Every structure is written in C-alpha cells, then in structure tokens.
Amino acid sequence: MSKPTIAIVGAGQAGFQVAASLRDLHFDGRIVIVGDESHAPYQRPPLSKAYLLGEVTDTQVALRPNTFYAQHGIELITGRRAVAIDRTRRMLGLEDDSVIQYDHLVLATGARNRPLPVPGADLPGVFFLRTLDEASALRDRMATAKKAIVIGAGFIGLEFAASAAKMGIAVTVIDVADRPMARALSKSMSAIFAREHANMGVQLRFNTQVLRLLGENGHVTGVETMDGHILSADIVVIGIGVIPNVELAATCDLPIQNGIVVDEFMQTSDPNISAVGDVAAHDNVYAHGIRTRLESVQNATDQGRCVAARIVGKPHRYDALPWFWSNQGGLKLQMCGLPSNGCEEVVRGDANGTACSVFLFHDGKLNCVESLNKAAEHMVARKLLVGRIALTPQQAADPTFDLKSLVPKPPVANS
C-alpha cells in the first residue's frame, strides 16, 4: 500500500506549521507545500519593524533554513499557484498544468492586501507591506525618503510609521476612523497610542478619507483628502486591511463566509480538505461561538498543529485562546482574548505612562486584556482567560490586588 500524500497550499506560517507538526507527530507519508511566492516560508511580523530597519536579513526571517525541508522529507514548490481542485478525484491542479494527487488537502492560502480604490493608487512609490518582496522594495525606498504618508492606522500602518520615524522620516498617518487601531483596541489603549505616536513625531489625521493620490513624472508626490487638503510625500504606504484568499476553495464549491468555513477541527464540508490560518472562518469559543477569522501567528500555529494531529489520528478541538502582539517603537502591545461590543474598560496602572493594561469586561465577565509594556501581567491575564477564572472590575482596577493569587498553583508532584 502506498503512503498517503498531504498537499498543503500556502507556504506561510500556517502551511509550514502543518508540515512541521506532521513530521513531529511521526507522519511518514508524502508532504508537499505549494507556495505562490518565490521564497521558502518566512516570518511576517519582522517585516514592518526589524526588517525595515535593517536589523534582520532575508535569511534571518526564514522560518527554517532551506536544508530543513530536505532533511524532513518535505517537498517545497515555490513560485507556483494552485488553480483548481478536483474533489472527486482528489487532485490539485497547478498553474503549469501539473497535478498533485492528494489524500488530504490543507488550504492555508492566507490573505492579500485590500486595495485602495482611488485614482493614483498604482503610482510608483506606493507600497503595501505584507510580503517579503514588498518589504524589501519599501526598505530600499526608505533609504532616501524624507516624507511618508500611511493610509490606515491599523497595526501594520503604525508599525511602519514607528519604524520610519526612527529613521528620521516625517510620517503622516491618515484613517477614516476616529482613533488608531479602532477595530481592535479599546478607546483607552487607543488614546495612549495616539499620544505616544505623536511623541515620536508622527502626525495623525483621523476622520479623514483619501480622495486620490497625486503624482508627477510617473511617481507619487502626495495625497489629496476629501476635505481638500494636499499632503506631500516621497512614499505612500497603504495598510487598510486584507481580503482572505478563498478563490481556490470557490473553484470546488466549498462553503465560504468571509473565509473558508471550517468546524471545530478545522475541517471543511469535505472531510478530505482542511483550512487553517488567516483564511479559515471558524466558530471561536472566545467570541461566544461567533464565526471568526483570526490574523495572527498564534492562530496560524495552533490551527496548523490541530490539523496535523487530526490527520495522524489524534484529533482535538481548536479552542486555543487568541493572543496577538504589536511592537511600535518602544511600545510593546500584547492582547489576549476577543473583545465584544459594549465592553466596560478598566485601566490597571498609569494611563499617562507607557506601562499599563486595559481589562475589558462584558456583563461583568472578563473578555479581553490589552497590556502595554507589561509582559508579566499579560501572561497572568492569559491564565485567567484560559481558566475562566472570575475577576471583578474592582479587582482589576486595584493595582495592589495580586492577580496571580487567583491562578491555582500546579499540583506538587509526589517524590
């Protein structure tokens, strides 16, 4: 009997994790990773920070050395897109007309940059920041840039802004919302980041929409806003979110709802196909069962492990606590849990400084914790959320209350 083949579409964090975990679990069949980029799997988080600043190289952002794949019997196909799935015959078609016969298919197709639908968005000097090639091109241009405009005050936009400001580039950030990271952060934490970015020299313009991008001699020169302001720039970075890559799943009629729909084991409606990472829409237990897509390294890693375990006959539900981080200059933000609408915000620590946490409660129950330069407090908060341990808003607000006292101590092993 021939050994089974696992085909993985997507060479990002999630796809890589499935393959690595399969080998860790002693799967001895064939593993094939298909990626449309020319690079072996690499880390995305450093691209907007250390990579732009020249602190790490292409080699250092690789998830593993190139020798890893041969040593672990993982076939890596780069620079080729998967274009079709035949579910009946379990065949994956690639753009060069080659075909991979699979026993199980994992879709880790990720997401792509959301385009800015205004005139001038395709001018030279306009950048996105998601892939290694995009980061490399942007880094080269930053070496001579004097002014930058960022469209979108989300994590990527603000991470770039902090890096650019550190390099002495004058940065202006534009967003249609009324505060930074409005979709992800509490008002209390947003206010701190707005203040601290201003302290870095970053200009923040909220409640502002872009009308068009301006150019001269075939290069971007600035931005015109809806309210008539003209802002000059050498480079423009667009960071207005992402779109999940569901097109391949759509070719074979898998259910799609803001991502590829999966169950608690990351399985699609086809038992021979799974989906993981940014593209997977799952009913998250920390979102009260609401179908959710999570864009984080933690999510990609945990879901990859979940699928690998199921493939080798050791299934377990995906119920990991979501957690995220963002480094913006000297600001290290760590978040755990998922906020819901109407949360009560409780600040623990000095909101006028750069070391505090915001605890978010819904109906008196802890939902989410945001910690700024408070790594130890973040780790305790994760234990509280995972253990469903009761914490009152009054306790959270009291800086003298020992949060660790609520966490049960592990049992002492018998000697």
Residues 6+ apart with CB under 8 A from 130: 44, 47, 112, 113, 156, 242
pLDDT(168) > 90: yes
Q: Cβ(127)–Cβ(135) under 8 Å? A: no
Q: For the chain, what's the residue count?
A: 415
Share of the chain above pLDDT 90, in %: 95
Q: Are residues 230 and 251 in the same domain?
A: no
Backbone dihedral region for residue 110 (phi beyond 0: left; psi -120 to 50: alpha; all else: beta): left
Distance CA 260, CA 213 (A): 34
Task: Give the CATH number, domain containing residue 204.
Answer: 3.50.50.60
Considering the domain boundaries, does residue 253 fall inside one? yes
Q: Are residues 234 and 250 in the same domain?
A: no
Distance CA 368, CA 391 (A): 12
Which run of H or E residues covers position 31? strand 30-34
What are the residue ranges of helices labelled H in 200-246? none
Considering the domain boundaries, does residue 272 fall inside one? yes
Q: Are residues 172 and 231 in the same domain?
A: yes
pLDDT(368) > 80: yes
Q: What is the mean pLDDT of residues 119-144?
A: 98
Distance CA 110, CA 259 (A): 9
Final residue of a structural domain among 189, 209, 240: 240
Give residue 1's pLDDT band: very low, low, confident or very high (50, 70, 90). Answer: low
The pLDDT value recorded for residue 201 is 97
C-alpha 28 chain-centroid distance: 31
User: What average pLDDT is seen over the chain?
Assistant: 96
The pLDDT value recorded for residue 235 is 98
Final residue of a structural domain among 240, 259, 279: 240
pLDDT(412) > 70: no
Q: What is the mean pLDDT of residues 192-211?
A: 97
Distance CA 349, CA 267 (A): 42
Distance CA 12, CA 244 (A): 13
In 152-197, beta strands by DSSP E:
170-174
Q: Are residues 13 and 100 in the same domain?
A: yes
Q: State the total domains in the chain.
A: 3
The pLDDT value recorded for residue 212 is 98
pLDDT(415) > 70: no
Q: Are residues 108 and 254 in the same domain?
A: yes
Considering the domain boundaries, does residue 318 fall inside one? no
Residues 6+ apart with CB under 8 A from 285: 319
Please indicate whether residue 411 or residue 285 has the higher confidence score (pLDDT).
Answer: 285
Domain containing residue 207: 126-240
Distances (CA, A) of 363 to 360, 371, 392: 10, 21, 11
Quick one: CA torsion of 67, 68, 73, 75, rounded to 10 degrees? -80
Quick one: CA torsion of 326, 35, 305, 66, rounded to 10 degrees? -90
Distance CA 203, CA 53 (A): 20
Considering the domain boundaries, does residue 330 fall inside one? no
The pLDDT value recorded for residue 380 is 97
Q: Are residues 61 and 208 in the same domain?
A: no
Q: Are residues 283 and 185 in the same domain?
A: no
Distance CA 360, CA 341 (A): 10
pLDDT(340) > 90: no
Q: What is the mean pLDDT of residues 34-42?
A: 97
pLDDT(175) > 60: yes
SS3 for 329-396 is CCEEEEEEECCCCCCEEEEEEECCCCEEEEEEEECCEEEEEEEECCHHHHHHHHHHHHCCCCCCHHHH
Q: Are residues 108 and 253 in the same domain?
A: yes
Task: Point out the least confidently predicted range of 30-44, 237-251, 298-312, 398-412.
Answer: 398-412
The pLDDT value recorded for residue 288 is 81
The pLDDT value recorded for residue 414 is 62
Considering the domain boundaries, does residue 63 fall inside one? yes
Which tokens belong to 187?
């008002």
Distance CA 315, CA 264 (A): 10
Final residue of a structural domain among 240, 255, 274: 240
> How many CB atoms are located within 10 Å of the residue 9 CB?
30
What is the residue type of 268? T
Q: Which residues of 196-205 are buried (b: 16+ CB within 10 A; e: fewer)?
A: bbeebebebb
Q: Are residues 199 and 106 in the same domain?
A: no
Of 369, 373, 351, the C-alpha closest to 360 is 369
Which run of H or E residues covers position 244? strand 242-244
Of 43, 38, 36, the C-alpha closest to 17 is 43
Considering the domain boundaries, does residue 185 fall inside one? yes
Distance CA 333, CA 190 (A): 11
Q: Cβ(222)–Cβ(231) under 8 Å? A: yes
> How many CB atoms are located within 10 Å of the residue 126 CB?
21
The pLDDT tens digits of the residues spanning 346-355 come to: 999 999 999 9
Q: Are residues 254 and 230 in the same domain?
A: no
Considering the domain boundaries, does residue 282 fall inside one? yes
The pLDDT tens digits of the residues spanning 235-272 come to: 999 999 999 999 999 999 999 999 999 999 999 999 99
Q: Are residues 138 and 236 in the same domain?
A: yes
Considering the domain boundaries, does residue 319 fall inside one? no
Give residue 409's pLDDT band: very low, low, confident or very high (50, 70, 90). Answer: confident
> How many CB atoms are located within 10 Å of the residue 402 CB?
10
Give residue 299's pLDDT band: very low, low, confident or very high (50, 70, 90). Answer: very high
Q: Are residues 200 and 281 in the same domain?
A: no
